[in-house]
Structure formats: structure tokens, C-alpha cells
Structure 1
Amino acid sequence: MRRVVPRPRPRGLPVVYAAVAYAGAARSALLAHKERGALRLARPLGTALAAGVRVCGDGGERVVLVPVPSARGAVVRRGHDPVRRLALVAAERLRRGGIRAELLPVLRQRRAVADQAGLSAVARQRNVSGALEVVRCGALRLRAPGCRVVLVDDVLTTGASLAEAARAVRAAGCHGGLAAAVVAAPRDAFEAGRACPPP
């Protein structure tokens, strides 16, 4: 598990940790789970995600996993919400490991966005800017004392989606203890020697 930083780094992106490089078998597994409904892959992918979440915490607080939401149309087309499914597995794994973890799917799209595939980093940021919001009942739970909010996604590409999710969570009043974890990221995003969070 290592810290990853996309180049250029979007404004507002929290510290992000990834389990593996988005290549080879990991890429194939993520695509099969996401696009072809290979739901049996949720367990190993969610376990990898849990490792990233584990690095994000200091061990004492309650961990709240907030998945980056998929577009409604994509969920309907795929027949499932892949990131939410991975976050559910990760929360279960963390609880089995003695970490107080819960899934809190409180982000929703407030407007439609274009498919991010093929867009540049700047175009992705423009595409998702202001697109997410926290549902009303979720804001109080995000601000609860003694919790660490961890945004979760399957893949970090440019960081635009996670930066927008962080903006929405902060706008809802969550200002401390924010980090992010993903299953995979591009090889060039991995920072050498950054296996642990900074002090």
C-alpha cells in the first residue's frame, strides 16, 4: 500500500493510498468487475481496498467509508454500483480486523456528468466540478466526533472525482480526518518511499 499523487494534482485532493498499479491482472479484474459484472471479484478487490483504508487511519477512531457514486445511468447499465460494492466488502474486512468501520453512501450526483474516459485531466476536473453533494441526513454523520472519513473509489486516474468528492464532503462540514483509498492507480502516480502516512 503506497501513497499516490496524480500529476497534475487537482486542488483539494486529500492524501490517497492505492494497493496496486492499474495494469495487468489488477486492471483486468477491475474492468471485469465494473463493466462485465464479475461480482465474484468484489471480495479480493474489496480486500485490497480495505488495506488502503487501514493505512489512512490512526487506529483509534471510527472509520467511515464514503464511496464516490457512479452515475445513475451507469449503475442501471451495469446492473450494480461497483465502487459501493467494493466499499461494502472493505468495511466488512475492516470490522473483522477489529476496526470500527461503516459504509456511508452519502454522496450523490446533483447534475449529470459526461463519461470521463478519454478526457484530459483539466477536462475531467471541469466535467465533475460541482457535480456532487452530500445528502442532507449524511452531513451530521460525517461531522460526528471521533470519526475518520475515507473517500473510496476503484481507480485513481487524474484525481478529479476524488477531489470533487472531497469538496462536497468539506462543504457538508467535514473538515478534519479526510483521506482517500483506491484499489489501483497508474504506475507513475506512486510516490517512492511513501508507504506510511506523513506524521
Structure 2
Amino acid sequence: MRDAALDLLLGSSCVGCGRPGRMLCPACRAGLPARATVSWPSPVPEGLVTPWATGPYADTLRALVLGHKDRGQWSLARVLAGLLATSVRAAAGPPDGSPLVLVPVPSRPGSSRRRGYDPTGALVRGAAGLLVRESYDALPAALLVSRGGVRDQAGLTATERAANLAGSMSCPAPGLRRLAARRTRARVVLCDDVLTTGATAREAQRALAAVGLAPVAVAVVAATRRRLLMAGTVGESHSGPPSLGPSPGRG
């Protein structure tokens, strides 16, 4: 009855099943992944750190990401932040007191301004807040910027995406100084909503490593189904999270 009343008042429906009422109904929420697994793209970009995802980019996960990023359904950020936190938790292991810096992969220049909202940044901030409540020393840090002139990635092959993104990201000094004032050493985890070919994550990893902040893992909500399935045999060879050594922060 409550969901029906909400639909009458707000005209909303579940992004997963279309049921009138809440934007994510209790049944679809209960069906969301509760853990994350290693999700290598195929082919794997050379040098990419271990990527973790809660599931394939399909069905409810896909609807959540698209609703949040492209349809202005910003209330979905809380659910997606919880999923991202699940991936970060799997990558980092249990809290051990060491600082954990979550760095969002930047959007193309102007996209957040057009939306009036930074969807990836919102997820990272939400995930960090959840992890802090679980005793992680987690800190969101929007360190990366993306230059103009990058083509839309839709329809590009893995090779074309890598070429399109090469040298497109940087880590400006002001952000580094702010981070250095708060943390002198940290493990850095790159965060995004979806992993497709891994080219974007690899370019973000390069930009951070260039200033001495080598990421230890990539954490995303979802990975494309084809690559997630192909990665299954690779992921099975990992008995646990990758070794996460400390990474120095520089101002």
C-alpha cells in the first residue's frame, strides 16, 4: 500500500522491475550483490592493478547506474555507494588502521557541470562515509582531472579507448597538497561506477603513479558482462585480496 501511495504522489517506479512506488523496491534491493569479486577485463591493459566489482553490468545494476548517472535519479546514490563500498572492502581487506584514500575516476570536462552533479564523486564520498562507520580510515579525494579533446568512448574497441585516453588525465598540485596535509601515507584505491575495457582505469592509474600515488586496486560497482564472465577463470586463481602495500602521498 505504501509503494502504491508513493507512486500516486510521486509517479515513481522501481528501476529494477518497474513496480510502482519506490525507486528500488524491497525485492530488488534484497537481490543486490552482497560481495565483490576480481573482475579482469579482456584483454587486460598492461599493468592494470586488480579490479573488483560486485557483479555484471546488467539488469538491476545497469538500471541503477544509468538511472543515477543519466536520468537524474540521484537518490540511488546511497544504494550505489553501498555497492562501491563492498568492492573497496573486498580490495582492501578488513580495517587495519592504515589510511585508505578513495580516488574517483574523473568525468569528461563539462559533463558534471551539464548535469549539475558529479555522480562518481557522490558515490565515492558515500562509500567512504560507510567505510568510516566500519572503522576504516577512509578518505575520498578527487585528485584527478581530465583534459578536453577526448572522444566519447561508446563503440570504441579496447585499443581505440586506450589510444583515445592516453595522457588525458593529470593530478594537479593543489589536490596533492590538500591530501598531504591530511595523510602522509595511504593506500590508494581507484573508484568508478563501471569497468568496461579497463582503459579509463589504466589511464587514471598512470596519472596517479606519475606523482607517486600508485593505486593498489580498482573498485567499481559493476563490470561489463562479457568481460566479467571471461574473467571468471582468472578470478578463481585469487584466494583473497591482492597484497596492498602502503603508497606514499606527496604534496
Check if 1:156 corresponds to 2:201.
no
Contact 2:91 2:241 in 1 (8 A): yes
Preserved contact between residue 39 and residue 53 of structure 2 (Cα < 8 Å): yes
Residue aligning to 1:184: 222
Q: Are residues 1:129 and 2:173 paired? A: no
Q: Partners of 2:84 and 2:166 in 1: how far apart?
A: 25
User: Any residues of structure 2 matched to 1:1-199 within 5 Å, and which?
Assistant: 1-58=36-93, 59-60=95-96, 61-139=98-176, 141=179, 145-175=184-214, 178-187=216-225, 188-189=227-228, 190-191=231-232, 192-193=235-236, 194=238, 196-198=240-242
SS, match of residue 110 in structure 2? helix
Structure 2's unaligned 5+ residue stretches are: 1-35, 244-251
TM-score, normalised with respect to structure 1: 0.92
| Structure-1 separation of matches of 2:86 and 2:57 | 16
CA contact (8 A) 1:36 1:78 kept: no
Structure 1 unaligned segments of length 5 or more: list them.
Answer: none
- The normalised TM-score by structure 2 is 0.74
Letter in 2 for 1:161: T
Which has the larger Rg? 2
1:53-102 deviation per Cα after TM superposition (whole angstroms, max 9, x unaligned): 11222432111000001112211222211111110110011011111101
Cα RMSD between the aligned structures? 1.9
Q: Count how many residue pairs are aligned between Structure 1 and Structure 2.
A: 198
SS of 1:72's equivalent in the other structure is: coil
CA drift of 1:168 comes to 0.3
Identical residues among aligned pairs (%): 41
Segment of structure 1 superposing worse, 165-174 or 189-198: 189-198
Select the structure with the greater relative contact order (CA < 8 A; seq sep ≥ 6). 1
